[in-house]
Chains A and B, each alone.
Chain A
């Protein structure tokens, strides 16, 4: 028994001492070129532990529980803002971030609305929430003039009703789907007024029977394999599905659009938790990511735009030249951003979302 206690104490010591040389990163799934992770370890001699999640809610719960053990996490803007006010993050020591001058003011001016002065976070990637379609399949069903660039394709019952047979997925993210619906209805997408938010409900109820699933990561494979033909999802994810389908050469042809009526623009920010075991290593990681070539390699791999101006010259034409990733001025003006809901409104939103998803 005593022996066991001694050995477990030794083990505990080993676990804590290991963290000095170890950086633990918690990022979104399918969100980095894994070669970069190896490069980081080779360049810095630090050991990298890289875990993934697929919803802001999961990350937020870990942050609010405290003691997550992560050194770098990647919440989206609205979630970041709320977690900053809960005291979950520490201010960045910019003297350790020599590459911070690479950042792009067009993005950092927008992220400042969540993190004033960008004191707690750096932008990793940003994108839009829009619609991915399997073009031949949708045109076969709705005809060649199918409104694939408009929210009409999913929010008009007569369209989605026909598309139901080949499968439609929506993101399971009320904080993005409800603003999209409000925007479509001509309301303020960022409204926090429960009466305005309630207007999204009848719209969703009218199309709900035709939505096969609300899920935030399954649609990548489902679109690429041809299991579904329409997904409301995140830009880069759908572009990844497009490339997987092209590689598989299975007759599936995916296109992504940030719809004409407007789409949400979101930002994934890297931040360091207050109780990070290795803040020193976390800064080294952030600086590594902000290196122009590294950031370009990440974007070239995942097809998301980044907030790094210096990286642009290293981006491949497929990324920098694609307006679905780096939107032109006109589309950029059509994009909107949102702010976090207060707790009481959040409950209204979640309850409505449960009702939309389950019918009760």
Chain B
């Protein structure tokens, strides 16, 4: 009985917070736009038979008729992949430093990584607007130090989007890598060095492979939300920043076309399911290895 309850909890969670919303969105993606409340037809109020007869895949066909959608998916993928790579490059040395720091420092370092979460995400992104703008701190500093003569345009470009994503998701990358490196048995590296490895070789052949699971977990934790990101590109990005999150917003708010917006969301979900399944499989393998 107890076991049943234990298993039921995650399933109820999945059902209520994932499957049910998904079915609703999928249902809307099969309907047609209407000037009414809610702005689509048919609804279940029309009777079940008419409701079923009114559904079709027209909206999905429509998505293939305009290259905007594919370009937006691809450009989102590009931004998500690149920013995941940048985040990894920044996070790994930090995590490595944390894992190598004296034991008594670690809780403090950990705090420093987690601390920004205590401030609203929106306020932190706004702070970046203040830092990156033409009259912002960064340009003021660079002008003062004489490195540049004219202020750089960073805000409202893709560069600002990358900075925003790397900054926001950095802790999600640091924490799993730190967890992996923390568990690393130091004697393995000593053994590698005893057997003739240089320090770099030992790092490359021992440390990196042993922190692989942390890297993979961190990458997924960054990649998945970055792909559908809306807030960061709309606040920091410029007019040329094309991301699927913004396209979805436009379908939903500007066109009031909930059915097409839902179709865009369903496809985004399908694109995300692939890495999620890979992630799951990796987790499973890891669990099996540990047994």
Contact = CB atoms under 8 A, between A and B. Distances in A.
Given A85-B35, A225-B135, A346 B68 contact: no
Contacts of A101: none
B256 interface: yes
A90 to B, nearest CB: 13
Interface in A306-323: none
Interface in A205-261: 208, 211-214, 222, 225-227
A358 B135 contact: no
A354 B250 contact: yes
A227 B135 CA distance: 6
A19 to B, nearest CB: 20
B26 interface: no
Given A86-B39, A343-B33, A211 B239 contact: yes
A29 B30 CA distance: 36
B67 to A, nearest CB: 7
A61 B253 CA distance: 6
A167 interface: yes
B242 A358 contact: yes
Contacts of A58: 253
- Is the interface on chain A under 10, 10 to 19, 20 to 34, or 35 or more residues? 35 or more
B255 A346 contact: yes
A192 interface: no
Contacts of A214: 239
A61 B156 contact: no
A87 B37 contact: yes
Interface string A348-360: 0011011101111
Interface string A80-101: 0010011110000000000000
Nearest to A213: B156
A64 interface: yes
Nearest to A65: B38
Nearest to A63: B37
A280 interface: no
Nearest to A175: B254
A353 B135 contact: no
Given A60-B256, A61-B256, A360 B156 contact: no
Interface residues of B, number: 29
Contacts of A86: 35-37, 39
B150 to A, nearest CB: 8
Contacts of A65: 37-38
B239 A357 contact: yes
A51 interface: no
Contacts of A88: 37
Contacts of B67: 360
A351 B247 CA distance: 10
Given A212-B156, A360-B68, A360-B242, A353 B37 contact: no
A359 B35 contact: no
B66 interface: yes
B87 interface: no
A118 interface: no
Nearest to B37: A66
B35 A343 contact: yes
Interface in B37-72: 37-39, 66-68, 71-72
Contact of A55 (B66, B238, B253): B253
Nearest to A355: B68
Nearest to A82: B35
Nearest to B255: A350
B247 A354 contact: yes
Interface in A79-131: 82, 85-88
A350 B240 contact: no
Given A213-B156, A360-B68, A360-B71, A347 B257 contact: yes
B37 A227 contact: no
B256 A346 contact: yes
Contacts of B133: 222, 225, 227
A110 to B, nearest CB: 24
A157 interface: no
A34 interface: no
B129 to A, nearest CB: 9
A277 to B, nearest CB: 16
Q: Which of B67, B254, B256 is most buried by chain A, counting CB atoms within 10 A of its CB?
A: B254
A213 B239 contact: yes
Interface in A29-66: 55, 57-58, 60-61, 63-66
Contacts of B254: 57, 174, 346, 350, 353
A174 B256 CA distance: 14
Contacts of B207: none
B140 interface: no
18 contacts: A57-B253, A57-B254, A63-B37, A88-B37, A211-B239, A212-B156, A213-B156, A226-B135, A227-B133, A343-B256, A343-B257, A346-B254, A347-B257, A350-B250, A350-B254, A358-B239, A358-B242, A360-B67
Given A167-B134, A343-B255, A360-B72, 20 more contacts: A55-B253, A58-B253, A60-B253, A61-B256, A63-B37, A64-B38, A66-B38, A82-B35, A86-B39, A87-B37, A88-B37, A212-B239, A343-B35, A343-B256, A346-B256, A350-B250, A351-B68, A353-B254, A358-B240, A360-B242
